[in-house]
Structure 1
Amino acid sequence: MIQLKDILYKVSIEKVIGGTGVAINNLHFDSRQIQLNDVFVAIRGALSDGHQFIRQAENQGALAIVCEELPETQISGITYVQVEDTKMALALIASNFYGNPSENLKLVGVTGTNGKTTISTLLYQLFSKAGFKVGLISTVAIKVGEKEYGTKLTTPDSITINKYLAEMNDAGVEFCFMEVSSHGIDQHRTSGLTFAGGIFTNLSHDHLDYHNSFAEYRDVKKRFFDELPKDAFALTNADDKNGAIMLQNTKAKKYTYGLKTMSDYKAQILENSFGGLLLKLNGNEIWSKLVGNFNAYNLAAIYGTADLLGLAELENLQLISDLTAVSGRFQYFVSEKKITAIVDYAHTPDALKNVLETINVIRTKNEELITVVGCGGDRDKTKRPKMGHIASELSTKVVLTSDNPRTEDPDQIIEEVEAGVEPQNVKKVVAVTNRKQAIKTACVMAEPNDIILIAGKGHETYQEVNGIRSDFDDMKIVKELLSQLEK
């Protein structure tokens, strides 16, 4: 049995009341899950403070309480550990509890505004095809080899991360690719993990509902690279103005990728069509099934990462040409009447701009580009008019609709998106609050050879309204609607 003192290794402790040589059962930060001889870590969250539930944890049989503020009265037989920051303590405790599993595989973190899911998922795909046992921790799924688990957060909590990493150790996983969000870094969910490398994709307008400013958002991302060990690699996008900032204070070995500037891993687009990309990667020509400029960046990062992890160049190039699109990331199909429907997760101004510019480069301009887009509720409001401006500027027609309104009024969100539409583009735009009806409207508008882009939700298979999640899959719905309308 593991003892309390074993899991407190490296934790900055201010005070201990009681003994630490006691055998513990499990670890939780949710008091409702506490059972006999468990450890409860009191976390201060955005909605509630775990310190308010210390008494409940004690009543349910907690053997130890880790907190920033000691309760006024302590119960005999329970050990109280006071720390400066319980989020940081939880990360270290969880890592120790599961035997520091990140040390037993090569863990690579991917951070940035856009591209995290694509890069981490395609690296999982590439290394699996290369014959390795691989793990994935992403927005779309957690994978331990071939076994898949659902997930709700881009970067899960520290206990969940370490639990799955330990399972990966047991399964003989050699490489794990993990999305690292700014929330995850800021809340120390990735602290205590040993990373073999870090990848920076890009930085654009997002999460300013959580971070006070763009500079704060950038600096949180930078902290991930600041904390990388010196035997790790730091691979950054040389074409992004924040790319160099990520490398300023890192101890890791520094590498770059890009399309425009001199870099260690250079990509050049030779052809770009709905069929895919013809690329030159460090002088080698390859064909990829992926589409668009943004994917050229993603492939350069993947190529560089695989090289830094020791994959032979020829195998690396062959496997890259075999990679297939990630669910909800520029996923498309062509209907019987030659209408192209694209579903993409683009939910930031920069991502939407990238996708629309990619489509506009590929299309002949003889067809309509109809964009269905909305913005999520209870999230960064400042990006809403920007999304409206970009959609109406770069599309021939726009249907504004609901995304995941959550607890907000969907009509109010649509009005805020519409505020960014300039006078010359107003006639292009209609608002249809019901998302299914909005997609149907786009399908009715579309003629043969037209293009429909449904942006914002991508891989998600639900819509969240007032805390209730209902089944909703953009790709499934657009396929059904086009099929019905074309009969």
Structure 2
Amino acid sequence: MKVLKDILYKVPMEAVVGSTAVTVNGIQFDSRKVEFNDVFVAVRGTIADGHKFISTATNQGAIAIICEELPEKIVNGVTYVQVEDSQMALAYMAAHFFDNSSGNLKLVGVTGTNGKTTIATLLYNLFTKAGFKVGLLSTVKVMIADKEFAATHTTPDPLVINSHLKMMNDEGVEFCFMEVSSHGIAQKRTAALEFAGGVFTNLSHDHLDYHNTFAEYRDVKKSFFDKLPPSAFALVNVDDKNGLVMLQNTKARKYTYALKSYADYTAQILENQFGGLLLKLNGHEVWSKLIGTFNAYNLLAIYAVGELLGLEARENLRIISELESVSGRFQYVVTKQKITAIVDYAHTPDALQNVLETINAIRTKNEELITVVGCGGDRDKTKRPLMGNIASALSTRVIFTSDNPRTEDPESILQEVEAGVEPQNYKKTMSVVNRKQAIKTACQLARPNDIILIAGKGHETYQEINGKRSDFDDFKIVNEFLKELEK
């Protein structure tokens, strides 16, 4: 239990009705979860406005209400606090309720369009292998030392984040690496956290269904760096033209990394093949099991973070050479017939282009590159023709299929993807709405030495159609079909 006035510390208040000296059992922003003596924070969401459920919260026993507008009906015995911004209030209240746990460890946020999951996960693995107790908050999973928990969002809500950080404190975790999404920043889920560092990977076409313009999307990312304290570091990829933009107003110590530009941390690709990468990282040669130019960037970023957080260079490089690829990120299998199947989360034009260019740089061109790809429903529609164009231009065969259609008509999504295919590439393409059938078709088309890329869902183990999620694992399914063909 906490005293309300204590968890309201740093929250700008406009009016108070009742006493802030009351004790509260918990904090909720979903009225359905309110229990006796909880405080309910009325947040205006993209789908629902929490202010409409204030009476529900008080009926269920809420002892306090935090809101931007006071309700007409005031219930005796309930404290009402009017604030400027409920989302910001929720962030600070959650942090205080869970003892400001982010300040008791070194928390590093990773943001950007592509690479967040890979970098955060590899950093977790790097520091774990270095002998530290480490935490991870990612799209794929949450790790508290060696305990795994399911992930629900790339960047969870403030209550979930801070409760996990409190558990990390209790477990003696020293470092935590978390993905910081543009949605999470915009909705102030990370506003009250104390970061020891921030990493910017890149910026490309994504989430324009939520952020109205690319400039808005960029500026939301930038605001994360603007708020870093002087004690933190800001590490940015300056091969991306937006890298230096992220550093413009930050008070943090500034560091850069790049493969093509002058930077504090640089890398050269000496060898790039399906077996891995030979890199020169800041003058040191290291072999990695990871593949492709995009992973060269990821490895350079984790090397830099390792050094900035105190890892000795030789130990840093030794462990990097042992790291495995992250689930659903260029995860591949090779059959006895030497058919290579690759599963990757590439769900943006930039990510898809990176993966296809990586494969094309390695393959001999004597084999087919068969790509299975689609686009999710209820998301940014403007990227669909771009995905169709890139897939058809950089593959020898393309099968367009469903991703997570959600509430949209899958065939309509495919038509929008197909609209980006240029005339000279029409004959390369086909559409198979059923994703499982599309993967099966790719396997049937493949011949020895051919390469199959299944893009878009990566680590996801479900497919969402009309609000229902059913089991669906690209890597598992392609393995099953390939084994059938070997019989």
TM-score per shorter chain, which class?
A: over 0.9
**Map of 1:375 onto structure 2:** 375
Q: For 1:108-187, list aligned pairs within 5 A.
A: 108-187=108-187
Amino acid at match of 2:154: T
| 1:227 positional shift | 0.3
**Map of 1:471 onto structure 2:** 471
Tell me the SS of whatever aligns to 1:463.
strand
**Map of 1:82 onto structure 2:** 82
Q: For 1:7-406, list aligned pairs within 5 A.
A: 7-406=7-406
User: Per-residue CA shift, 1:45-75, capped at 9, x if unaligned?
Assistant: 1111111110000000000000011100111
Tell me the SS of whatever aligns to 2:23.
coil
**Map of 1:459 onto structure 2:** 459
Distance in 1 (alpha carbons) for counterparts of 2:475 and 2:73: 56
Distance in 1 (alpha carbons) for counterparts of 2:430 and 2:23: 63
Tell me the SS of whatever aligns to 1:305.
helix
Distance in 1 (alpha carbons) for counterparts of 2:481 and 2:398: 18
| 1:283 positional shift | 0.4
Amino acid at match of 1:336: K
Structure 2, gaps ≥5 residues long:
none
TM-score (norm 2): 1.00
Amino acid at match of 1:183: H
User: Per-residue CA shift, 1:105-134, capped at 9, x if unaligned?
Assistant: 000000000000000000000000000000
Tell me the SS of whatever aligns to 2:24.
coil
Distance in 2 (alpha carbons) for counterparts of 1:349 and 1:434: 22
Amino acid at match of 2:281: L
Amino acid at match of 1:22: V
Tell me the SS of whatever aligns to 1:338.
coil
Amino acid at match of 1:253: R
Distance in 1 (alpha carbons) for counterparts of 2:437 and 2:36: 51
Amino acid at match of 2:120: S
Amino acid at match of 2:221: K
User: Per-residue CA shift, 1:425-474, capped at 9, x if unaligned?
Assistant: 00000000000000011001000000000000000000000000000000
| 1:485 positional shift | 1.6
Amino acid at match of 1:219: D
CA RMSD of aligned residues (A): 0.4
| 1:4 positional shift | 0.4
User: Per-residue CA shift, 1:178-214, capped at 9, x if unaligned?
Assistant: 0000000000000000000000000000000000100
Tell me the SS of whatever aligns to 2:108.
strand
Distance in 1 (alpha carbons) for counterparts of 2:257 and 2:128: 23
Distance in 2 (alpha carbons) for counterparts of 1:295 and 1:483: 29
Distance in 2 (alpha carbons) for counterparts of 1:79 and 1:143: 37
User: Per-residue CA shift, 1:280-320, capped at 9, x if unaligned?
Assistant: 00100000000000000001100000000000111001011
Distance in 1 (alpha carbons) for counterparts of 2:19 and 2:44: 25
User: Per-residue CA shift, 1:20-62, capped at 9, x if unaligned?
Assistant: 1111101110101111100000111111111111000000000
Tell me the SS of whatever aligns to 1:40.
strand
User: Per-residue CA shift, 1:223-253, capped at 9, x if unaligned?
Assistant: 0000000110000001000000000000000
Distance in 1 (alpha carbons) for counterparts of 2:294 and 2:36: 51
Amino acid at match of 1:71: P
Distance in 2 (alpha carbons) for counterparts of 1:152 and 1:427: 40
Tell me the SS of whatever aligns to 2:391.
helix
Distance in 2 (alpha carbons) for counterparts of 1:428 and 1:53: 53
Answering whether residue 418 of structure 2 is matched by residue 418 of structure 1, we say yes
Tell me the SS of whatever aligns to 2:177.
strand
Identity of aligned residues (%): 72
Amino acid at match of 2:87: K
Distance in 2 (alpha carbons) for counterparts of 1:186 and 1:143: 24
Tell me the SS of whatever aligns to 1:61.
coil
Amino acid at match of 2:198: G
Amino acid at match of 2:2: I
Distance in 2 (alpha carbons) for counterparts of 1:166 and 1:12: 25
Distance in 2 (alpha carbons) for counterparts of 1:334 and 1:321: 21
User: Per-residue CA shift, 1:333-385, capped at 9, x if unaligned?
Assistant: 00121100000000000000000000000000000000000000000000000
Tell me the SS of whatever aligns to 1:95.
helix
Distance in 2 (alpha carbons) for counterparts of 1:116 and 1:10: 30
| 1:141 positional shift | 0.4
Amino acid at match of 1:206: D
Amino acid at match of 1:131: G
Amino acid at match of 1:81: V
| 1:103 positional shift | 0.3
Distance in 1 (alpha carbons) for counterparts of 2:473 and 2:421: 27
Distance in 2 (alpha carbons) for counterparts of 1:117 and 1:288: 18
Please identify runs of 4+ aligned residues in structure 1 that moved more than 4 A. none
Distance in 1 (alpha carbons) for counterparts of 2:486 and 2:313: 47
Tell me the SS of whatever aligns to 1:417.
helix
Amino acid at match of 2:245: I
Distance in 2 (alpha carbons) for counterparts of 1:245 and 1:25: 43
Answering whether residue 445 of structure 2 is matched by residue 431 of structure 1, we say no
Tell me the SS of whatever aligns to 2:2.
coil
Tell me the SS of whatever aligns to 1:453.
strand
Tell me the SS of whatever aligns to 1:332.
strand
User: May I ask how many residue pairs the two structures share in their alignment?
Assistant: 487
User: Per-residue CA shift, 1:161-186, capped at 9, x if unaligned?
Assistant: 00000000000000000000000000
**Map of 2:440 onto structure 1:** 440
TM-score (norm 1): 1.00
Distance in 2 (alpha carbons) for counterparts of 1:225 and 1:290: 29
Tell me the SS of whatever aligns to 1:118.
helix
Structure 1, gaps ≥5 residues long:
none
Distance in 2 (alpha carbons) for counterparts of 1:98 and 1:55: 26
Distance in 1 (alpha carbons) for counterparts of 2:151 and 2:296: 27
